[in-house]
Each structure stands twice: as structure tokens, then as C-alpha cells.
């Protein structure tokens, strides 16, 4: 039996990230590659420095490409089926950093079609509505319309469709069935859908009329899509997309992944302060059953979602290291640690919510079709 399962749709069990790399065939990020990044960017983002983004395909090649003065772009996506939680924002924060450091344009696909195909109860208008609502969280990161190109699939298909058609011709039923686990009862929308997700990887090349590879920062479970994209790129005359893979965001409840069916497992950007506090104070921890034991033996930050969020949202290395030490030594108890996290997250969310509301009504300015 397998002790863990990872697909684009589910994560179960305790994940062995090394085994996962072997399974997918991606490479661990090396210090040499991080040093090259540092040379170009002037710094290394904490999410990379702390090993949260830990693996890749051709990240070294795209840095080399950059060094030769050639154009590249960023690509990521979001399945809009509900509110955004702060875990969703983590790769987007890195995306914004890359965009700023390297002056890159961002192609951001909102897959309202896929969410509609995938969820029997989802209405199409509803999924598209979520795309607009979720776009507020992306714009709130501080993008300007010349750098962010939102693609709402059901609205902005025009530039994508000719590419998707070429992609679809290269993908057989056998291939997508094996890659995504489709069955005879899978609707044909879902079966076609990978061609659309892959098409965005080739879009910047079409728009610029010259080879423009993309870098895709995402969680490692998205690898199957982009492995396919890489397999067919050559045959279609496009450069292969590069990827940068993260580990998974821990659920506050201690489960292996956050789930929409359990809203307490994640902090949503629209949660009010009271809700955020309740979720953090009720979170699973790596602490001991009693304060006395904790003082004596210390806690385990490695399995603790509270520590995980300190690591993700505190830009100060020394502060994160101090939390780790104070946890392990028993100098700090979980209650205090949680309060400190609550303060950090509240500060982040307060600014975020203001910028988010400012973006309301302005989403169309960021949509790609407006500019075509
Ligand atoms: Fe987690 Fe903080 Fe408790 Fe350590 S002290 S187990 S990091 S909540």
C-alpha cells in the first residue's frame, strides 16, 4: 500500500517530498541555482530561502535564458470555486516578487470553465462570478494593468483557442486518461480542459511573435499538467515552460491539505478578525498536552501549522528562527505563539482587504481581452 497520494485533485497522508520528486521526475532546487537567482534579483525571496519552494523543472535554464537577455513571462492560475484563503496567496506573493524583480508580465488564468465541469452543483455564472471575486485578491497584491493579464476562460478564450486546438491535436485520450485518471464517465469538458491550461504556457510566445518561455510557480501536485505541456512544446515549435514547485500549505486543523468542505482548515481573505482569531486559537499544534510538559520537553514546530504560517508570513528570518527555538526549548507556550501569529495575519489581512476593495469594479482593466 501507498502511505500517501498526490494528484492535482487530492493530497492524502503524510507527504514525503523527496519521494514525490522521484515520482514526478522533477529536480530539487540546488544552492547553485539559488545563487544565480540571487545574482540577478539582488536577494532571494524568503519562500525560496526557507525551502518552501523546493523543486523545479528547467528553472536553471530559464535563468540562463534571462542572462542572455531574452524575454520570458510568468504564468499561474486559479480554479475559482469559492473565496481565496491565505494559502492560495502564497505562490501569488512569489509571482509578484518575480514580476517586480525581473520586470515580467504575468498571465493569470481563471479556470471558471474547469470548476463548472468539475463540480456537479456549480452553475457557470457562479464560477465566473468567483473568478471576478478572486481577481480582487490578485490585483490587491499591487499589480498594474500592464503587468497583469487576467484570463477568465469563458470570457477571454479568443487568444487561447487557436493554441488550445493545436495542443488538443497532440494529446490522445490514452495520455490524458493516464495522466489525470479520467474514466468513461468523465464529461468531455474536463477531458478537453488540459489543452486550455497548457495553451496559456505558449500564449506569450504567440503574442510577442518570438520564443517567450514561461515560469510557473505552483504546488508540486500541478506537475502533471506542465509535464504534458513540456512533452508537446517542441513539436509545436514553442519553448518548454519552466516550473518552480512548492510544498503544500498545512491545514490549520492538522489535516494533510486544506479543504473547502472544512472552512476552519484555512484563513480566508474575507474572514473578519474574530473568525481569524477563533481559527488560529483552535488550530492544531505541535505542542504538548499540558503547559507543564511543554515547558519541560518543548514542542515540535515541524509538524505545527501555527509555525508553518509564521514561516510563510514573517519576512524576518531571525524572528522565525527565534519562534522555532522558543518552541523547541519550551520557552514559549502555544497560546502566546498563536496570539503572535494572529497579530501578524491580521496586519497582513487589514492592508490586503483595503487594497482588495479598491480593486472592486476594476477587474476588466486587468483582463487580457481588453488589450487585444
Ligand atoms: Fe506550534 Fe508555536 Fe506551539 Fe511550537 S509553540 S507547537 S510552533 S504553536
Cβ neighbours of residue 185 closer than 8 Å, sequence gap 6 or more: none
- With b meaning 16 or more CB within 10 Å and e meaning fewer, what string describes 159-176? bbeebbebbbeebeeeeb
Q: Nearest-5° angle of CA 20, CA 21, CA 23?
A: 60
Atom in ligand 1 nearest the alpha carbon of residue 332 = 5
**Could you tell me whether strands 73-78 and 53-57 are parallel, antiparallel, or unpaired per DSSP bridges?**
unpaired
Q: Evaluate whether 31 touches 55 at the Cβ level (below 8 Å).
A: no
What is the fold, at CATH topology level, of the domain defined by 263-357?
Tyrosyl-Transfer RNA Synthetase (1.10.240)
From residue 229, how far is each of 119, 166, 180, 211, 322 by CA, in Å?
25, 12, 14, 15, 42
H-run or E-run covering 132: helix 124-139
Q: Within the chain, which residue ranges are assigned CATH 3.40.50.620? A: 4-252
> How far is residue 296's CA from residue 330's CA, in Å, rounded to a whole number?
6
C-alpha cell at 224: 502533471
Tell how far the Cα of 307 is from the centroid of ligand 1, in angstroms.
Answer: 6
Give the model's pLDDT for residue 1.
Answer: 41
C-alpha cell at 64: 540562463
Q: Within the chain, which residue ranges are assigned CATH 1.10.240.10? A: 263-357
Q: Nearest-5° angle of CA 356, CA 138, CA 108?
A: 155
What is the fold, at CATH topology level, of the domain defined by 4-252?
Rossmann fold (3.40.50)
Tell how far the Cα of 292 is from the centroid of ligand 1, in angstroms.
Answer: 14
Give the model's pLDDT for residue 9.
Answer: 56
Ligand 1 pocket by C-beta < 6 Å: which residues? Answer: 285-287, 299, 301, 304, 306-307, 327, 332, 334, 337-338
Q: What is the pLDDT along the chain (372 residues), one digit of tens a residue?
A: 456 666 655 556 667 888 888 888 899 999 999 999 999 999 999 999 999 999 999 999 999 999 999 999 999 999 999 999 999 999 999 999 999 999 999 999 999 999 999 999 999 999 999 999 999 999 999 999 999 999 999 999 999 999 999 999 999 999 999 998 899 999 999 999 999 999 999 999 999 999 999 999 998 888 888 899 999 999 999 999 999 999 989 999 987 666 667 888 999 999 999 999 999 999 999 999 999 999 999 999 999 999 999 999 999 999 999 999 999 999 999 999 999 999 999 999 999 999 999 999 999 999 996 555
Rama region for 105: left / alpha / beta (φ>0; ψ in -120 to 50; rest): beta
Nearest Cα to Cα of residue 217 among 69, 31, 56: 56
ipTM above 0.95, yes or no: yes
The length of the chain is 372
Q: Cβ of 260: how many Cβ atoms within 10 Å?
A: 12
In the chain, count of helices (H) and strands (E)?
A: 17, 9
C-alpha cell at 42: 539582488
> How far is residue 248's CA from residue 7's CA, in Å, rounded to a whole number?
12
Tell how far the Cα of 59 is from the centroid of ligand 1, in angstroms.
Answer: 34
**Residue found by looking up cell 500592464 in the block:** 146
| 3-state DSSP percent of the chain in helix, strand and coil, to 5 | 55, 10, 30
Tell how far the Cα of 93 is from the centroid of ligand 1, in angstroms.
Answer: 25
Which of 298, 301, 329 is the pocket-test mutation for ligand 1 (most atoms within 8 Å of CB)?
Answer: 301
**Residue found by looking up cell 518552480 in the block:** 244
Amino acid at each position: 500500500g501507498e502511505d500517501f497520494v498526490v494528484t492535482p485533485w487530492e493530497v492524502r497522508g503524510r507527504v514525503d517530498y523527496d519521494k514525490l520528486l522521484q515520482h514526478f521526475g522533477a529536480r530539487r532546487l540546488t544552492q547553485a541555482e539559488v545563487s544565480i537567482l540571487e545574482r540577478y534579483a539582488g536577494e532571494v525571496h524568503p519562500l525560496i530561502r526557507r525551502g518552501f519552494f523546493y523543486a523545479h523543472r528547467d528553472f536553471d535554464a530559464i535563468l540562463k535564458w534571462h542572462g542572455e537577455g531574452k524575454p520570458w513571462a510568468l504564468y499561474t492560475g486559479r480554479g475559482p470555486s469559492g473565496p481565496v484563503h491565505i494559502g492560495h496567496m502564497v505562490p501569488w506573493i512569489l509571482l509578484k516578487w518575480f514580476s517586480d524583480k525581473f520586470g515580467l508580465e504575468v498571465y493569470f488564468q481563471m479556470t471558471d470553465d474547469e470548476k463548472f465541469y468539475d463540480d456537479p452543483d456549480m452553475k457557470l455564472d457562479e464560477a465566473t462570478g468567483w473568478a471576478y471575486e478572486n481577481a480582487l485578491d490578485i490585483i490587491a497584491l499591487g499589480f498594474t494593468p500592464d503587468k497583469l493579464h487576467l484570463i477568465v476562460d469563458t470570457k477571454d478564450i479568443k487568444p487561447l483557442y487557436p493554441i488550445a486546438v493545436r495542443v488538443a491535436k497532440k494529446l490522445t485520450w490514452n495520455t490524458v486518461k493516464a495522466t489525470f485518471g479520467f474514466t468513461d464517465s468523465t464529461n468531455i469538458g474536463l477531458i478537453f480542459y488540459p489543452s486550455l491550461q497548457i495553451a496559456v504556457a505558449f500564449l506569450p510566445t504567440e503574442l510577442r511573435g518570438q520564443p517567450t518561455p514561461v515560469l510557473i510557480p505552483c504546488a508540486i501536485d500541478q506537475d502533471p499538467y506542465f509535464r504534458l505541456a513540456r512533452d508537446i512544446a517542441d513539436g509545436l515549435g514553442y519553448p518548454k515552460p519552466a516550473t518552480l514547485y512548492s510544498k503544500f500549505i498545512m491545514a490549520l486543523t492538522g489535516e494533510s491539505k486544506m479543504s473547502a468542505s472544512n472552512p476552519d482548515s484555512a484563513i480566508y481573505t474575507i474572514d473578519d478578525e474574530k473568525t481569524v482569531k477563533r481559527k488560529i486559537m483552535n488550530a492544531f499544534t505541535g505542542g504538548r498536552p499540558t503547559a507543564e510538559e511543554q515547558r519541560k520537553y518543548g514542542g515540535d514546530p515541524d509538524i505545527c501549522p501555527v509555525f508553518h504560517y509564521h514561516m510563510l508570513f514573517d519576512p524576518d528570518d531571525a524572528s522565525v528562527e527565534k519562534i522555532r527555538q522558543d518552541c523547541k526549548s519550551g520557552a514559549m507556550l502555544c497560546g502566546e505563539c498563536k496570539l503572535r501569529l494572529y497579530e501578524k495575519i491580521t496586519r497582513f489581512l487589514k492592508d490586503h482587504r483595503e487594497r482588495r476593495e479598491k480593486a472592486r469594479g476594476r477587474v476588466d482593466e486587468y483582463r487580457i481581452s481588453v488589450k487585444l
